Each structure stands twice: as structure tokens, then as C-alpha cells.
Amino acid sequence: MAHMCSGGRKLRSHLTMSDFSFVVPTLREYFSFGASLGRFLLEDYGFFIVMHLAIPVIHSRNPHGMLGAVSHMSEASYASKDSTSNHTSLSGLPAELQLEILKNLDENSLFCMACTTPYFLNLCCGILEARYLSRLAPWAGKNLICLGHDSYYKEFPSNLFDAEQSEEFEEYERKCWRWQPTVSEFIMDHFEEVDETIYIPEAYHRWKSRLDNIGLIRSFMSQTMIPAQASCFYPRDQPWMLRNLTTKEFVRADAIAADRHANFEGPFITGGYCLGDIVLVRTGWNSIKSVGFPDYEKNHNVHRGVWAGHAFDITTIARHEETTRGQIWSDVSAEVVAEMDAIFEGEESMSDEE
């Protein structure tokens, strides 16, 4: 049933008692699923979380192309410019101005500019690639919570919403006819629901040969897209890990795979729960003691996730070791695996009974 605020606006409350939303407050984004967390573990939605947290491994294709064209350009990079260029045209402007102008163009305009000279081809490829790759790992480093429908604002983890969002909710609460509206209702009315799959150009498929700038721009212009997980940015031959950036704890993918006799390729685990499922379970939050694990909930406060409101990413162990030298991190793989095993096995047995 739709609830009505005093202003006559209907609240989108198609949620049922078992609905949950995965929420990223700083981005004002959420993803809803119509099941309890328990049912969720038996689906593939944890993979969705992996793709929104896994930081891609990106290697430049040449010294001046790819991301280097945007991030690492120096004056020497522009030595190939035509010295006879008209200084009143785009070609005659300082390199920094050229880059600023090009970065404000839409895709079709960049395609056109890329076809003018090798110099602008290089620049436009770098800008386009930066845009496409910015789609990857959009939730890495952001505070997250898996929010139950029966969740109320005053019971939330502290500092999850910023001051502006807190004021918005208080205003929303005053306008609604309900004595105490849930946070889920507020989020569905003020945040944007995101799509499940992240797509990037086919040029990045992991089975494709590396393309030069001409090949890249042709691929970009074709607008043929692939799911990000099929790209070359998630090496299958490297070990990966889930990191809680708030508590400086991590869980290794190989520890999960070994325990469950599952297969893992890079950050992706098949044949059991995955790194994304761990985030969902440990960030679960509900005002009532129910998140969909009836057996496990008897003795555990799963509805108050120990990682609710924390920030995460998924990265390679090699990159973690390289970037955290001198820092103290805790490997909680054994603890998390034991917890997830107890939950997952209970859900599997319930599914078998059904």
C-alpha cells in the first residue's frame, strides 16, 4: 500500500517485510532486492557487489595513449604538435587549455576530434578511456550498508548520513503522515536506484589483443559493450582480497575457495558464497531481529552487522602489500569463513527442504 505525505505525494513502498536495499549514502545510490539476506546468498547478487568494489588492474598500452594521455601528460608530450598551427584555433592553444576543452565535449564530439589528427586521436582516446574506466569500482572506498525495510533512522550507525541528508530525513519525517517512516522509504524517494551490470567497450575484452589508438577509437565508436567482468582488468592468475578500509581488516578469496572447495578466478568465486556476499551479511542492518537467517539469528545479532556503515574495496594481494607497507592490517579470513559457513550451510539445508 502506498503511504501519503502531507504534501499529497505518494511514497513508493512496494517493499515487503523481507526486502533489503544495499545503500551508498554519499553517492545517493541504492540497489534493492526482493528477498531476505538468506535467500540472497543462494542467488548471484553477491557478484553484483564484487563488480562495484573490485578495483581494476590497468596497464597503459603505450607511453602517450590510454590513461597516460590524461593523467601523466607533460610538455614533452606535446612536442608533436604542428608548429604552423593557427594560434586562434584549438590546435594553437596551450596544451592545458586543449585538454580542458576536450574533457568537456560529449562522446560524439570526441569521436569527431579523434579523426582529425594523430595528436588529437591520442588525446581523445585518453579522455574517452578515463570516462569508461571511471565506471569501474564505483563503490570502492564508500560507506555501505545493507538496509532492511524495517530500519529506523534513530537506530542507525552514527555518521552514516551527512548533515544535509540528516536534515532532509528530518524534514521528510515531519511531512509524512506516519509517526515514524522507515529509512527505506526515504531512500527510495530521494536516492537513485542503480543497474545491476556495469558495461564497458568491447575493446577491453580479456580475450582480445591489445589495440592501438586507431583500434580503440573504432571500438569506442561502434558502441559495442561487454559486462565489466569479461574485461582484462581483473587478472584471473592473481590472488585477490576484500578489504574493510574502516577497520583495516581483510578476507582472502583463496581462503573462501579452499574452505568451500570452490573455484576462484581473480576476485570471482563460483561454487559457494563470494566476497560480495560477505559484505552483504556483515553490513546487514534492521530494526527488528530478522534479516533472513532464522537458525543463525537465534544466537547472533546478525541484524546489527559488525561492518555496517564501513568502507570497502576488493583488490589484489600484490597491490595491497605494495600500498600498505608499514601499516598494520588484520587477516580475519578464518573468522569470516566460519561465520559464513554456519549461515550458508543453514540456508542450503532450508533450500533443500523446500
Write out pLDDT tens, residues 306-354.
Answer: 899 999 999 999 999 999 999 999 999 999 998 888 777 655 544 444 5
Task: Tell how far CA 237 is from the center of its chain.
Answer: 22
Asked whether residue 212 is domain-assigned, the answer is no
* Mean pLDDT of all residues in 221-230: 90
- Of 267, 215, 257, nearest to 237 by C-alpha is 267
130 with 142, same domain? Answer: no
Answer yes or no: are the C-beta atoms of 218 and 204 closer than 8 Å: no
189 with 119, same domain? Answer: no
Task: State residue 90 phi and psi, 5-degree precision.
Answer: -60, -40
128 with 158, same domain? Answer: no
20 with 129, same domain? Answer: no
Q: Mark residue 208 as left, alpha or beta (left: phi above 0; alpha: psi -120 to 50; beta: remaining).
A: beta
Cα distance between residue 352 and residue 354, in whole Å: 5
185 with 257, same domain? Answer: yes
Write down the pLDDT at residue 241.
Answer: 96
Q: Which domain holds residue 320?
A: 3-56+138-196+234-353
Answer yes or no: are the C-beta atoms of 202 and 208 closer than 8 Å: yes
Asked whether residue 278 is domain-assigned, the answer is yes
Cα distance between residue 131 and residue 153, in whole Å: 36
Cα distance between residue 75 and residue 95, in whole Å: 8
Asked whether residue 207 is domain-assigned, the answer is no
Residue entry with cell 579470513: 333
List residues bridging with 330 in a β-sheet. Answer: 249
111 with 144, same domain? Answer: no
* Confidence band, pLDDT 50/70/90 cuts, at residue 36: low
Please determine, for residue 138, whether its predicted confidence score (pLDDT) is greater than 60.
yes
pTM exceeds 0.75: yes
238 with 272, same domain? Answer: yes
Cα distance between residue 245 and residue 141, in whole Å: 7
